Structure formats: structure tokens, C-alpha cells
Amino acid sequence: QKEVEQNSGPLSVPEGAIASLNCTYSDRGSQSFFWYRQYSGKSPELIMFIYSNGDKEDGRFTAQLNKASQYVSLLIRDSQPSDSATYLCAVIGGYGKLTFGQGTILTVHP
Amino acid sequence: GAGVSQTPSNKVTEKGKYVELRCDPISGHTALYWYRQSLGQGPEFLIYFQGTGAADDSGLPNDRFFAVRPEGSVSTLKIQRTERGDSAVYLCASSPSRDDTGELFFGEGSRLTVL
């Protein structure tokens, strides 16, 4: 089993809809979780992190963490075409080393 | 510059050749990471430097891969006897410290193609 697994996608949603991206992780001891966004041909950039069970909201983005189920999700409300990108889930290990999932490609169509 | 700089942006080489990829991190960042990203995959950890020393090189796939950071700033990833399977985008990232903040600042990557 991979350390971090994401729903395979690709995911296509209409403009204005909610996009839901999901991630599971294998190490029950993992404490911190991150969502990075990567536009085509560009480098990843951090958009959200979450440490505690429950929801964390930042603008149109909400990260959800359920440590008992080893599940992390990212919701994007009022999706815009500019949100079209690959979303990478990551967990942190020693030294700040991040382990990434394979990514989910999101397309928001007008 | 303000961001992480990587050179070359593209490198095409023949199987069996030696390549060097350079990373210039954000000034003052002590932590430096190398990742490799294949098409359709997430970044895969290769090596982590804290200062001049390689604190974790567990991700290097074999002894053909080596990285240095002699003065605690610029780092070079070296690949000997390249193979077609080495073709990927090599990403460098830096962060201010080894705190578990999870925010890595990535460069634009070096795309390596081995023919």
C-alpha cells in the first residue's frame, strides 16, 4: 500500500460547483497534512495545511481531516476555471520531508 | 532572485552519459530537498540537506545518484551512467528551517530526457 493515495481522477466539475478531492494515508502516526496545487508545467505550491481533526477553512478552500479513518480531503467551493490544476496531498515525516500522493487532476469547465 | 532557481531547465542526454543539475535555494534557507517527478505522478523524495550535510538520502534510487551542497547554499544533483528510466522532472525545494511547517518552496524544475 502506498503511503499516500489520492482518488485517481481526473475530476471535472462545472464552474461554480464544489470540487471534492480525497486522500488516504497509511501511517497512523502522521500528524500533519498538506495540500499543494500544481499548474501544468509549473512547480507545486502550498495552498492548505491541517493538523487537527475537523475542518479548516481558508476562503473558498476547506480541508477536512479524520485521523481515525486516516482520511484527508479538500473542498473547493464556487470552483473557477483558474482552479484547474493537479492537487497533491502530502504528509510530513522527519526533518520536514514530505511524502506526496500521485495527485488528482481537476478541470473546471465554464 | 527571490525564488528557488534551477538550471538547466531542460537537459537532453544520451544513455550512459553523466549529468549535473543545479539548485540555488532561497537565500537564508537552510533546508534543501531534491524530488523527482515522473509524468502523472506526485513528487518522489530523493534527498534532504540541512546545511552542508545530507541528513536523509534514503530516496536516492541507487549509487548512480549523488548530491552535494558544499557551502550550505547551492546544491548539485549528479547522475552517472544515465538510463532512460531516469527521465523525469527533477525538483528542488528549500525551506527556512527543519521545522515541520510543511511549506516547501519549489523551483521550476529541471526536465531530464535520456535518449
Chain centroid, CA B60 distance in Å: 10
For chain A, the three-class secondary structure string (H helix, E strand, C coil) is CCCEEECCCCEEEECCCCEEEEEEECCCCCCCEEEEEECCCCCCEEEEEECCCEEEEECCEEEEEECCCCEEEEEECCCCHHHCEEEEEEEECHHHCEEECCCEEEEEEC
Residue B18 pLDDT exceeds 90: yes
Tell me, yes or no, if A85 comes closer than 8 A to chain B by beta carbon.
no
Confidence of residue B101 (pLDDT cuts 50, 70, 90): low
Task: Supply A85's cell numbers.
Answer: 490544476
The nearest CA of chain A is from the CA of B80 a distance in Å of 25
Partner-chain contact A94 B108, CB within 8 Å: no
Instruction: Tell me the per-residue pLDDT of B67-80, one tens digit each, with 9 for 90 and over.
Output: 999 998 999 999 99
A18/chain B closest Cα distance in angstroms: 23
The span from the CA of B100 to the CA of B103, in Å, is 8
Q: Does B95 touch chain A (CB under 8 A)?
A: yes
Chain A: nearest CA to B47, how far in angstroms? 9
Interchain contact B62–A (C-beta under 8 A): no
pLDDT value at residue A23:
95
How do beta strands A104-109 and A85-92 pair?
antiparallel
Tell me, what's the pLDDT at B75? 97
Going by pLDDT thresholds of 50, 70 and 90, the confidence category of residue B100 is: low
Nearest CA in chain B to A6: B42
If you measure CA to CA, which chain A residue comes closest to B96? A96
Q: A57-104: per-residue pLDDT in tens?
A: 999 999 999 999 999 999 999 999 999 999 999 998 766 788 999 999
In terms of Cα–Cα distance, which of B6, B3, B40, B2 is closest to B111?
A: B6
- Look up residue B57 and give its three cell numbers: 538520502
3-state secondary structure of B86: helix
Looking only at the bridges linking them, the beta strands covering A19-25 and A4-6 are antiparallel
All 3 cell numbers of residue B7?
538550471
Task: Tell whether B87 is within 8 A of chain A (Cβ).
Answer: no
Segment B29-57 mean pLDDT: 92
pLDDT of B99 above 70: no
pLDDT in tens, A3-53: 899 976 799 999 999 999 999 999 888 888 999 999 999 999 999 999 889
Task: Specify burial of residue B16 (Cβ count, 10 A radius: 0-12, 13-18, 19+).
Answer: exposed
CA distance B34 to B36: 7
Whether A23 contacts chain B with CB within 8 A: no
Q: Which residues of A touch B31 (CB under 8 A)?
A: 95-96
**Would you call the peptide bond into B25 cis, given omega within 30 degrees of 0 as the criterion?**
no
From A79's Cα to the closest Cα of chain B, the distance in A is 23
**Eight-class DSSP state of B53:** E
Closest Cα in chain A to B103: A46
Which are the contacts of B19, defined by CB distance < 8 A and separation ≥ 6? Answer: B11, B13, B78, B79, B82, B112
pLDDT of residue B35: 97
Cβ <8 Å between B56 and A96: no
Residues in chain A: 110
B33 in contact with chain A, both atoms CB, cutoff 8 A: yes
From residue A105, give the alpha-carbon distance in Å to each of A8, B13, B36, B37. 8, 30, 19, 15
